Structure 1
Amino acid sequence: MVEQLQAFSQERLEGGGEAEERTVGHLEIYALGEGRAARDGQAVSSSEWQAAMAKELFFYVLLNGPLERDVIGAVFWPELGASSVTSSFHNALYRVRRALGSDAIVVEEGRYGVGDVDYWFDVEEFEGLVERARLLPVQDLQAQDLWQRAVSLYGGDFLPEVERVWCVPKREELREKYVEALVGVGRCNEARRDFESAIGWYRRALEVDELREDVHRRTMSCFADAGRRTEAVAQFQRCRTLLQSELQIKPSAETLELYERIAAAEGE
């Protein structure tokens, strides 16, 4: 319909207009595993978003805003001319405001950002749990609780449905923090000498990133401390094979030293 009546007259000349006078309400925003949102407890459907571009624009502004329209346009429509970028941007912005409310994205001094809305965002919650857990010693039960809550909250990769490159660094950063959380739970169990549980958490971490040599070492140590030295040696062999096949490197001196201590003890 003529590009949504020119994106509702360019969003009431940049001010956001009324977007059907729908206020935002409380938003629950999820990006781990899949991008989705709920408004006042009701899931925002695909038909309400109208287009995947609108949902992606909202997440981009949420994480990176406030930003000038030209900066956003260069990310989303780099192949278009200035007038087409303006039209495409306001069309997507109109859909965001229709889906979430008029204050979901606002403009101030030419920069677009999330308005003064009440929201909960799983990424912010996840990162907050990781930051708090880092401050505590592994012997602290609260540390294990925080690490486990972070693990539970991580529902999958950050916005896996988005292919544009802007989200790749954040996706990798969050995946690394997820591995850190898995290792954190493992370290807490290891500190309590619950080696079997620790091994399970370390294995989960290696399922995400099998090239983490430090996690292989921790797994080896736990096997050894649990009296399972044959499995500790086998863990070293897996680590060595992976490093050679994937990175064409040898295990570090620290890993080799640990292996030699374990192998010597096994032969006693």
Structure 2
Amino acid sequence: MAKLEIYLLGRVEVLWEGQSIIDQLSHKSIGILSYMAIKKDKSFSRNKIANIFWDSSDSNSSRYNLRYNIWSLRKIFKNNDEEVDLFIADKESIRFNDEFNIYVDAENFHHKIKNSKENTIKDLEYLKGLYKGEFLEGFYIKDSSEFNDWVFYEREKFQRNYIKILSKLVDHYKSIEEYQKAIDILENMININPLKEELYLQLIKIYIKLGDRDLALHHYKRCCTVLREELNIGPMEETKKIFNQIQKGEIPQEKKEKEIKIEIKVKKKKTNLNLHYTDENTLEQVLERINPDRDKKIIYTYTYPLGNIEYYWISEVVDRIIEDYPRNILKRLPKYYWQDLSLINSATEKYLEDILSSQEMMDNKIFKALEDLLSEISKDEPLVIILDYVDAIDKKSLEFIKYILYRERFKNMTLVLIGKDDEHENIEEIKKYFKVEG
């Protein structure tokens, strides 16, 4: 195992001998490590690095700041067993020491793509697993515009390669009729680029092939809604043509034996997050069953029939976490959680300090930030979230619930949904895809 592990795909993480030391590093030190780690065998000009990270300072100040950060990194990553320095440097250049055992996920990702002669499914699935999220997701440095531009370029490059990998996997799983795997990957691709109409069209065609007219129509309407709300345009002629064929019943039904095979493939997805539905009269019995030892943290949330105020319930969850958990615990959590959640809840700003806030209001940033926050606080203490009156939940928050159910990260968390109408469209939407306990 590498002594130093640098993870750049997704939220940045730095491990030293298996332990996270990200909180010991300044933003500039993380940036320097990241910039050099992408090409860890390359030698870098000290002047260039100094100018990238301190472009508003004079040359003497920027070189001094670089020397200080290099000294800090050497001190943190001092190898006590062997006298091996992290860097090899002189007055003009700096590089990582080849003798220092370093693993970089982004470099591994790039190397596998570049040197893979055959796109085997095993290789593609491995690469898919390496990509945990956007390159340096949510990471910015104030007053370092050149570095931020570099991050943007690298982020786009890695995402393009990731999309190509997912596209190849979708084609493969469709060809062998592993339709549920193809559907899951397409949903992931839509989460990355919700305006890509071709992805919805592929979903529609899969559900037509599966003989599920209702879901084919659902994804057509979903596509139309996104295009209209975000771009003020309608769907392509090909998409409308397929919709008209479904409406007129011109899509042929599959044979009976095919339907039996399909029923097995599209069965409700099992999720690691424990999911329960009840009414207010039987809530106590459900809680007694899922929390018999009363050792789980209970967060009670409520939704009101206020119309579709976006992110209302998500913001309510954030409020309850801030109220119910000690501030010193929340202060220790990575600040990018609060950075992205501040887009919908200003109460998080007290945990931000001087981090640059994102200009992009993107669902996946908000969803990922709350997912990471919930995952972190439920690690040591099992968590139960009660959502009272799921009938009134806003659409964005309902999408978040489906998002975390699909992601399968939570083994230590339970979600209890309370409703007044067990046939309401909100609970039906969840039941359509996931197994819900009573």
Same fold (TM over 0.5): yes
CA distances 1:199-222 after superposition (whole Å, capped 9, x unpaired): 222122212221222211211110
Higher helix share: 1
CA shift at 1:67, angstroms?
A: 3.0
Decide whether aligned partners of structure 1 residues 233 and 133 sit closer, same or farther in structure 2, where only a CA change above 3 A counts: farther
Q: 1:66 is matched with which residue: 40, 43, 54? A: 43
CA shift at 1:31, angstroms?
A: 1.5
Q: 1:215 is matched with which residue: 189, 194, 199? A: 199
CA shift at 1:130, angstroms?
A: 4.8
Which residue in 2 is equivalent to 1:113? 95
Decide whether aligned partners of structure 1 residues 109 and 79 sit closer, same or farther in structure 2, where only a CA change above 3 A counts: closer
Which residue in 2 is equivalent to 1:79? 56
CA distances 1:5-33 after superposition (whole Å, capped 9, x unpaired): xxxxxxxxxxxxxxxxxxxx743221123
Decide whether aligned partners of structure 1 residues 46 and 235 sit closer, same or farther in structure 2, where only a CA change above 3 A counts: closer
Decide whether aligned partners of structure 1 residues 170 and 231 sit closer, same or farther in structure 2, where only a CA change above 3 A counts: same
Query: Conserved in 2, the CA contact under 8 Å of 1:29 and 1:36?
Result: yes
Q: 2:18 is matched with which residue: 31, 42, 47? A: 42
State the distance in 1 between where 2:198 and 2:57 align.
46
2:95 partner amino acid? G
State the distance in 2 between where 1:262 and 1:131 align.
43
State the distance in 2 between where 1:173 and 1:256 align.
32
Structure 2, unaligned runs of 5 or more: 79-83, 142-147, 253-438
1:114 partner amino acid? F
2:21 partner amino acid? S
Query: Conserved in 2, the CA contact under 8 Å of 1:129 and 1:147?
Result: no
Which residue in 2 is equivalent to 1:249? 233
State the distance in 1 between where 2:67 and 2:188 align.
44
Query: Conserved in 1, the CA contact under 8 Å of 2:37 and 2:104?
Result: no
Structure 1, unaligned runs of 5 or more: 1-24, 137-141
Q: 1:151 is matched with which residue: 128, 131, 156? A: 128
Which residue in 2 is equivalent to 1:52? 27
Decide whether aligned partners of structure 1 residues 259 and 134 sit closer, same or farther in structure 2, where only a CA change above 3 A counts: farther
Map residues 1-268 of structure 1 onto 2, 5 A cutoff: 26-39=3-16, 41-43=17-19, 45-46=21-22, 49-63=24-38, 66-101=43-78, 103-107=85-89, 110-116=92-98, 117-130=100-113, 135-136=118-119, 142-143=120-121, 145-164=122-141, 165=148, 166-266=150-250
Query: Conserved in 1, the CA contact under 8 Å of 2:8 and 2:106?
Result: yes
Decide whether aligned partners of structure 1 residues 75 and 241 sit closer, same or farther in structure 2, where only a CA change above 3 A counts: same
Query: Conserved in 2, the CA contact under 8 Å of 1:77 and 1:85?
Result: yes
SS of equivalent residue, structure 1 residue 28:
strand
Greater RCO, 1 or 2 (C-alpha within 8 Å, sep 6+): 1
State the distance in 2 between where 1:83 and 1:73 align.
10
Q: Could you say what the CA RMSD is over the residues aligned between the two structures, in angstroms?
A: 3.0
Which residue in 2 is equivalent to 1:5? none
Identity among equivalent positions (%) equals 20
- How many residue pairs get matched? 236
Decide whether aligned partners of structure 1 residues 88 and 114 sit closer, same or farther in structure 2, where only a CA change above 3 A counts: same
